[in-house]
Structure 1
Amino acid sequence: MSGAALALDAPKERAILSITGKIAEKNAGDKARFDMKMIEALPQHSFTTRTPWFDRPVKFTGPLLADVLAAVKASGSQISAVAINDYKISIPVEDTTQYKLLVARLIDDKAIPVREKGPLFVVYNFDSATELRTSIYYERSIWQLKALDVQ
């Protein structure tokens, strides 16, 4: 069975991410909901990068945001990402193809507690391109991610 097929079973544990908007695959009414096991079932990627939030380079691991969007068959040009504290930022869908943009579930191979920016953290590999080391991309790196709305 493919990762995408697994991803849209109904969550068996507490849902940590909901996706709404222009999506074709749903598992909870008009939205797709994911628990951590569903996020773990998607292909996993890692990179180590410096960020403004840590005093040293850290390793992030999780699925690519592009793979999360593919799992729900998203079709749109903008993603509104919302954090647990209701911080909201818009991420262009083209960022998901242009950059290795992770929905990190691990930092330095450990689960991310809510009090330390978890459980999910959208992060760019800032060390991979000079243009990423600006406030535009730092602001798009949303921690404590709880929802995505594809427009």
Structure 2
Amino acid sequence: MFREFPQCLRRLVGPVLLYALLPAVAIAADLPPPEGDVLLRVEGDIAHPNVGDELHLDREQLMQLPSRVIETRIPWAQGTFRFEGPLLRAVLAAAGARAEHVRVRALNDYEAEIPVADFHDYDVILALERNGSPIAVRDFGPLQVLYPFDEHPELLTESIRFRSVWHVESIHVP
């Protein structure tokens, strides 16, 4: 009976590990060029480009990445909102980016340098939807860097507010 245990254990552990690692493998796999309108460009030191030396992502590709819903109040508006979008750590993993910080650029050329540690310490998302609808450009969309403010009140600082970029168009990985 004890001699069979290791073989049984191998039969069980192998598939469990495989299924546990599949999401990470899927994220790291090279993504095809987008078929829809490009919402985000990731450029710089990345290992998984899909258009030239950049990673271009459309809405569908962004929605396929590991995501999160955050219900929170935000410092620049009244009320509580429900935001949804991919985790920024998943976006960087899809790009094959390894850096200590990234530079996020908005449509109006505003830029913020964000420590990558933020994406691992908190579930920071690239919000695509607010209250169940795509975020329009006139409402600071189509993408926003969003921190879980209500879950972590320590994030309600001026420096974090400056990292909460609206109208996101690109991420530069130095």
Give yes or no for TM over 0.5: yes
Bigger Cα displacement from structure 2, 141-150 vs 36-45: 36-45
Q: Which residue of 2 aligns with 1:146?
A: 169
CA contact (8 A) 2:46 2:97 kept: yes
Q: Secondary structure at the match of 1:128?
A: coil
Worse-matched range after superposition: 96-105 or 122-131: 122-131
Superposed CA RMSD in Å reads 1.5
Q: Of residues 38, 44, 49 in structure 2, which corresponds to 1:26?
A: 49
1:1-151 correspondence runs (5 A)? 3-4=26-27, 8-151=31-174
Instruction: Provide the rounded CA distance (Å) in 1 between the counterparts of 2:66 and 2:83.
Output: 14
Letter matched to residue 24 of structure 1: A
Percent identity for Structure 1 against Structure 2: 36
CA distance in 1, matches of 2:29, 2:38: 15
Alpha-carbon displacement from aligned partner over 1:80-108 (angstroms, at most 9, x marks no partner): 00001111000001101001100010001
What secondary structure, in the 3-state scheme, does the structure 1 residue paired with 2:38 have?
A: coil
Question: AA paired with 1:146?
Answer: E
Gaps of 5+ in 1: none
Whole-Å Cα distance in 1 between the matches of residues 138 and 160 of structure 2? 22
Contact 2:104 2:168 in 1 (8 A): yes
User: What TM-score comes out, normalization by structure 1 length?
Assistant: 0.94
- Superposed displacement of residue 5, structure 1: 6.1
Deviation of 1:4 after TM superposition, in Å, equals: 2.2
Code of the aligned partner of 1:49: T
Distance 1:15 1:57, change over 3 A: same
| 77 and 5 in structure 1: CA distance in 2 versus 1, 3 angstrom threshold | closer
Higher RCO (Cα < 8 Å, 6 or more apart): 1
- Larger helix percent: 2
Mapped partners of 2:116, 2:44: distance in 1: 13
Tell whether the 8 Å contact from 1:6 to 1:38 is kept in structure 2 after alignment: no
Distance 2:112 2:93 in 1: 20
Superposition TM-score, scaled by structure 2 size? 0.82
Q: In structure 1, how many angstroms separate the alpha carbons of the residues matched to 2:138 and 2:126?
A: 17
Q: 2:62, 2:86 within 8 Å by CA — same for their partners in 1?
A: yes
Q: CA deviation at 1:62?
A: 0.5
